């Protein structure tokens, strides 16, 4: 009886692993859900505003068809405080994984799923969050909601193949909406602290990165 139970348990584990492998393979091949083609991954849709600059270098205004005042900023123009705070807060093993942090994911599953700790933190990496910002459509039914996370994983792995870690961090900060018409880190730094991102102090950088958890709850204009 005991042997039968052990065989049944291992059989169940094998079936689960096989099912997961089949689902991920189908997603990667575009048979299930939507995974952007290589061309779209290499040229993500980031809508930047046009800046009007005077002869003496002063900003006269911005203009955008998308009604987003996002202004591009490169990695070299980001304060190191921003980069360090983002990695420390959202993805401590960012430099070590290839899009998915298995340790963080299992920790989140155990703490949230088994011990029901709602504030235990998530298992999504910065790359997964970027994939969600770019490519996660609204789920209209239970099946689509179940597939959202695996699709994000597949896209995250693909993003890691096509971009460097610095480029992923830069895209994430350029994409994020910090509210109050401050889309992207450059506009957010100007809106909340009247500075360029590279000139932010450590406490200012920490404030903006804290908003990535919840831009409404941790908005500095609330205090």
Q: How far apart are CA 102 and CA 105, in angstroms?
A: 5
Which residues lie below 8 Å from residue 203, measured CB to CB, with a gap of 6+?
none
3-state SS, residue 181: coil
Q: Are residues 22 and 91 in the same domain?
A: no
Q: Are residues 112 and 19 in the same domain?
A: no
Longest Cα–Cα distance in the chain: 85
- Which tens digits make up the pLDDT trace of 49-95? 555 555 556 554 555 555 667 888 999 999 999 999 999 999 999 99
Q: Are residues 139 and 196 in the same domain?
A: yes
What the block records as the tokens of 188 is: 């957010």
Of 6 and 214, more confident: 214
Q: Report residue 116's pLDDT band, with 50, 70 and 90 as the boundaries.
A: low
Phi, psi (degrees; rounded to nearest 5) at 61: 170, 175
What the block records as the tokens of 5 is: 């139970």
Q: Are residues 6 and 23 in the same domain?
A: yes
Q: How far apart are CA 109 and CA 125, in angstroms?
A: 14
Q: Which helix (H) or strand (E) holds 104?
A: helix 102-108
Q: Are residues 63 and 10 in the same domain?
A: no
Q: Are residues 48 and 153 in the same domain?
A: yes
Of 141 and 92, more confident: 92
Q: Are residues 127 and 24 in the same domain?
A: no
Q: Are residues 40 and 28 in the same domain?
A: no
Counting the structural domains of the chain, the total is: 2
Number of Cβ within 10 Å of residue 87's Cβ equals 17
Phi, psi (degrees; rounded to nearest 5) at 63: -145, 135
Q: Are residues 182 and 199 in the same domain?
A: yes
Cα-based distances in Å from 71 to 49, 88, 132, 150: 6, 25, 21, 31
What the block records as the tokens of 86 is: 């983002």
Q: How far apart are CA 90 and CA 126, in angstroms?
A: 6
Q: Are residues 146 and 94 in the same domain?
A: yes
Q: What is the pTM of this model?
A: 0.79
Total length of the chain? 223
- Which tens digits make up the pLDDT trace of 163-196? 999 999 999 999 999 999 899 999 999 999 999 9
Which residues lie below 8 Å from residue 117, measured CB to CB, with a gap of 6+?
111
């Amino acid at each position: 009886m005991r042997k039968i139970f052990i065989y049944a348990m291992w059989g169940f584990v094998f079936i689960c692993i096989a099912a997961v492998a089949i689902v991920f393979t189908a997603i990667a091949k575009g048979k299930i859900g939507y995974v952007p083609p290589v061309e779209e991954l290499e040229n993500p849709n980031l809508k930047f505003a046009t800046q009007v600059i005077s002869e003496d270098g002063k900003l006269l205004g911005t203009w955008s068809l998308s009604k987003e005042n996002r202004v591009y900023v490169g990695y070299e123009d980001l304060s190191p405080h921003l980069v360090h705070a983002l990695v420390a807060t959202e993805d401590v093993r960012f430099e070590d994984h290839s899009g998915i942090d298995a340790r963080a994911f299992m920790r989140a599953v155990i703490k949230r799923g088994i011990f029901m700790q709602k504030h235990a933190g998530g298992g999504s990496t910065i790359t997964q969050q970027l994939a969600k910002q770019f490519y996660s459509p609204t789920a209209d039914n239970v099946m689509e909601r179940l597939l959202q996370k695996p699709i994000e994983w597949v896209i995250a792995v693909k993003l890691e193949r096509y971009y460097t870690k610095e480029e992923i961090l830069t895209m994430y900060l350029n994409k994020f909406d910090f509210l109050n018409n401050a889309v992207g880190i450059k506009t957010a730094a100007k809106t909340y602290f009247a500075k360029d991102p590279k000139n932010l102090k450590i406490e200012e950088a920490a404030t903006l990165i804290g908003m990535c958890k919840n831009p409404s709850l941790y908005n500095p204009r609330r205090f």
